[in-house]
């Protein structure tokens, strides 16, 4: 075997491995969605997922029953401070601990793709008039002048070599290449126009006393997946968060999910704030706007409900792509609000209503919201 080991069979195997990982996620998607376990493991553009059962099973000893030998200080009876069998990174077969799932990174885009495939979500058609062309500068071009920091060594060398070959000053036995000014090449930028569509999600959540921790967790999980999907559809995605009980205020993401108030509920306060935010920051012809509202369906009074309907009809709906209302079933809520919405907007395609009975219903609810492709 005199050949050099330079063939890249590993790319084939690596691709295959990634396929298997994706297949595994696809198969367990519902579980991943309901458990919410991947939420805390999110990086900038990647998520870490613990995949069970991807290694090759073999007969092996039960881990907690076996004993082993180690080296180092310590008296008999002292704790080792951790599981010695888990530290084994040497990849010896049969030594890896049993419960340990494989942790893999997956790009958020790929995750969105899987979500889209599994739920058969249609791609969103951005509203045409809202396309803004933006220019981007990319260093993909070459010039003959420029700062030395951007010198393109290989091109410069090639030019110099070519010139020396042509004029005959290249000496095979002493292959010194000296570039002159004309040989110099520099990296430079090119402007590219890219159509850009912007989108904003405005999350509104009822944090009144009747919304419990479990209800909030459901909202949190659902919003992660909504984010993931919409991010894959729009290049720039803004998110805004509004919480409300009897009054509404805008908060950051963290507060949004962890606040619990005890007051009553006036949904109109949130809708009013939402309408204000849209008017202030998101000109309708430049933005795709997605208000999502989550509540347990309790509202203070019928009067307030009427105010809500008016706000929706006259301002929010006019500005938005869709308006989504998710009603999380709670032990304390009456669940009346969704009925009112149905009554007023039952045949309006722009309003999407979804009832979320529990964690297992999250997947269906996502499908309700995003299944229209608007």
d(CA 39, CA 363): 15
Kindly state the tokens that stand for 258.
């962890």
| 128 is a contact residue toward other proteins (CB under 8 A) | no
For residues 334 and 338, give the distance between their C-alpha atoms in angstroms, rounded to a whole number.
Answer: 10
User: Should residue 13 be labelled a site residue for other proteins when binding is judged by CB under 8 A?
Assistant: yes
Nearest residue to 202 via CA among 121, 279, 265: 279
| Residues of span 72-91 touching other proteins by CB under 8 A | 72-85, 87-89, 91
Taking CB under 8 A as the binding criterion, the range among 2-10, 26-34, 276-284, 364-372 that sits at the site for other proteins is 2-10
**Applying CB under 8 A, which of residues 40, 68, 147, 168 lies at the interface with other proteins?**
68
The least distance separating other proteins from the CB of residue 52, rounded to whole angstroms, comes to: 10
Q: How many angstroms separate the first and last alpha carbons of the chain?
A: 60
Q: How far is the CB of 96 from other proteins (least distance, A)?
A: 10
Specify the stretch interacting with other proteins by CB under 8 A; choose among 12-20, 227-235, 257-265, 277-285.
12-20
| Cα four-point dihedral sign 295, 291, 319, 115 | negative
Instruction: Give the range of 4-12, 40-48, 157-165, 181-189 binding other proteins by CB under 8 A.
Output: 4-12
Crossing angle, helix 337-345 and helix 302-311, to 10 degrees?
40
For residue 95, count CB atoms less than 10 angstroms from its CB and return exposed for 0-12, middle for 13-18, buried for 19 or more. middle
CA distance linking residue 328 with residue 365, whole number of Å: 10
User: 112 and 228 in contact (C-beta within 8 Å)?
Assistant: yes
Nearer to other proteins, 22 or 155 (CB): 22
Of 66 and 123, the one with the shorter C-beta distance to other proteins is 66
- Which residue lies nearer to other proteins by CB, 52 or 236? 52
Largest pairwise CA distance in the chain:
95
Query: Binding to other proteins by residue 62, rule CB under 8 A?
Result: yes
The DSSP line for 87-136 is S--S--TTTS-TT-PEEEEEEHHHHHHHHHHHHTPPPP---GGG-EEEEE
Closest contact distance (angstroms) between CB of 17 and other proteins is 3
Binders in 199-228 for other proteins, by CB under 8 A: none
Give the count of beta carbons closer than 10 Å to the beta carbon of residue 292. 21
> Near other proteins by CB under 8 A, which window of 26-34, 64-72, 224-232, 317-325?
64-72
Spatial distance between the Cα atoms of 336 and 331, rounded to a whole number of angstroms: 13
For residues 78 and 56, what is the distance between their CA atoms, to the nearest angstrom?
Answer: 34
Q: With CB under 8 A, what is the number of residues at the site for other proteins? A: 62
Is 65 one of the binding residues for other proteins (CB under 8 A)? Answer: yes
Nearer to other proteins by Cβ, of 85 and 131: the residue is: 85
Report if residue 63 touches other proteins, rule: CB under 8 A.
yes
What mask, x for binding other proteins by CB under 8 A, covers residues 19 to 58?
Answer: xx--------------------------------xx-xxx
Among residue numbers 94 through 123, which ones bind other proteins (CB under 8 A)?
A: 94-95, 98-99, 102, 104
Of 84 and 283, the one with the shorter C-beta distance to other proteins is 84
Among 26, 50, 61, 303, binds other proteins (CB under 8 A): 61
Query: Could you tell me the smallest distance in angstroms from the CB atom of residue 86 to other proteins?
Result: 9
Q: Residue 326's closest CA among 205, 229, 201, 200?
A: 205
Interface contacts to other proteins, rule CB under 8 A = 1, 3-10, 12-20, 53-54, 56-85, 87-89, 91-95, 98-99, 102, 104
């Amino acid at each position: 075997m005199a050949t050099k080991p330079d063939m890249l069979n590993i790319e084939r195997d690596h691709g295959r491995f990634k396929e298997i990982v994706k297949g595994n996620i696809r198969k367990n998607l519902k579980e991943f969605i309901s458990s919410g376990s991947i939420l805390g493991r999110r990086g900038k553009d990647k998520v870490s997922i613990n995949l069970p059962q991807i290694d090759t099973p073999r007969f092996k000893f039960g881990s907690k029953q076996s004993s082993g030998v180690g080296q180092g200080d310590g008296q008999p009876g002292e704790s080792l401070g951790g599981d010695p069998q888990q530290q084994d990174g040497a990849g010896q077969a049969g030594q890896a601990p049993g419960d340990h799932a494989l942790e893999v990174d997956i790009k958020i885009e790929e995750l969105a793709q899987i979500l889209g495939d599994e739920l058969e979500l249609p791609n969103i058609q951005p509203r045409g008039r809202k396309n803004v062309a933006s220019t981007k500068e990319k260093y993909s071009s070459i010039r003959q002048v420029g700062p030395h920091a951007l010198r393109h060594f290989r091109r410069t060398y090639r030019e110099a070599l070519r010139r020396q070959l042509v004029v005959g000053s290249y000496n095979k036995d002493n292959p010194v290449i000296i570039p002159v000014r004309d040989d110099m090449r520099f990296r430079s930028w090119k402007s590219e126009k890219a159509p850009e569509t912007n989108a904003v999600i405005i999350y509104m959540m009822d944090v009144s006393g009747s919304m419990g921790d479990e209800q909030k967790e459901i909202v949190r999980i659902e919003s992660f997946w909504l984010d993931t999907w919409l991010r894959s559809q729009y290049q720039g995605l803004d998110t805004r968060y509004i919480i409300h009980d009897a009054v509404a205020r805008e908060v950051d993401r963290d507060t949004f999910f962890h606040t619990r108030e005890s007051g009553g509920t006036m949904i109109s306060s949130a809708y009013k704030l939402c309408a204000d935010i849209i008017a202030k920051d998101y000109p309708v012809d430049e933005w795709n706007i997605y208000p999502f509202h989550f509540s347990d369906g309790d509202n203070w009074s019928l009067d307030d409900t009427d105010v809500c309907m008016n706000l929706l009809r006259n301002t929010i709906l006019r500005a938005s792509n869709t308006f989504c209302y998710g009603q999380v079933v709670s032990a304390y809520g009456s669940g009346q609000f969704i009925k009112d919405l149905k009554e007023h907007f039952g045949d309006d395609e722009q309003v999407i209503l979804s009832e979320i009975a529990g964690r297992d219903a999250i997947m269906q609810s996502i499908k309700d919201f995003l299944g229209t492709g608007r």
